[in-house]
């Protein structure tokens, strides 16, 4: 009886030792990187007046703000814009601040810098 218990115990310990030492791979795909550059954010502005200068910008979790100048010369205007990354289109889109500037809609960093100027 003792011999059977000893053999079963050794078998369990050996099986656990093998199971623990076997490498396991979990294939978790990482989300695609969202581009965060002046050029990728500026591409969202397709109207007649283009971004001519960017003073500051940042991206967090698919949201961005941009402090920029639109137009040039006497028609230059400083603007603050909030953008959201459109994953299906793989591009940034300008968001209407009157609709998205609500606490909790976007990361706090973007909310504070994109919703309270100009």
pTM: 0.71
Bridge partners of 70? 51, 77
Instruction: Report the alpha-carbon distance of residue 71 to residue 24 in Å, rounded.
Output: 56
- Asked whether residue 23 is domain-assigned, the answer is no
Q: Specify the number of domains making up the chain.
A: 1
Instruction: Report the alpha-carbon distance of residue 65 to residue 114 in Å, rounded.
Output: 5
- Asked whether residue 15 is domain-assigned, the answer is no
Helix, strand, coil percentages, rounded to 5, for the chain: 35, 30, 40
| Number of Cβ atoms within 10 Å of the Cβ of 52 | 15
SS3 labels along 64-95: EEEEEEECCHHHCEEEEEEEEEECCCCEEEEE
Instruction: Report the alpha-carbon distance of residue 34 to residue 62 in Å, rounded.
Output: 7
Q: For residue 58, give the 3-state DSSP assignment.
A: strand
For residues 82-94, give the mean pLDDT. 96
For residues 102-111, give the mean pLDDT. 96
Question: In this predicted model, what pLDDT tens digit does every residue of 37-82 receive, in sequence order?
Answer: 999 999 999 888 789 999 999 999 999 999 999 988 898 999 999 9
User: By residue range, what is the domain housing residue 73?
Assistant: 38-114
- Asked whether residue 7 is domain-assigned, the answer is no
The whole-number pLDDT of residue 64 equals 98
The whole-number pLDDT of residue 50 equals 84
- Asked whether residue 104 is domain-assigned, the answer is yes
CA gyration radius for the chain? 27
What values do phi and psi take at 102, rounded to 5?
A: -130, 130
């Amino acid at each position: 009886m003792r011999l059977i218990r000893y053999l079963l115990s050794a078998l369990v310990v050996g099986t656990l030792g093998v199971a623990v030492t076997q490498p396991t791979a979990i294939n978790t795909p990482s989300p695609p990187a969202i581009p965060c550059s002046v050029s990728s954010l500026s591409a969202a502005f397709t109207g007649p007046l283009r971004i001519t200068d960017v003073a500051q910008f940042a991206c967090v979790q698919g949201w961005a703000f941009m402090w920029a100048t639109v137009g040039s010369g006497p028609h230059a205007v400083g603007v603050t814009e909030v953008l959201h990354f459109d994953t299906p289109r793989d591009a940034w889109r300008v968001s209407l601040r009157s609709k998205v500037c609500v606490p909790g809609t976007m990361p706090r960093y973007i909310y504070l810098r994109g919703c309270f100027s100009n």
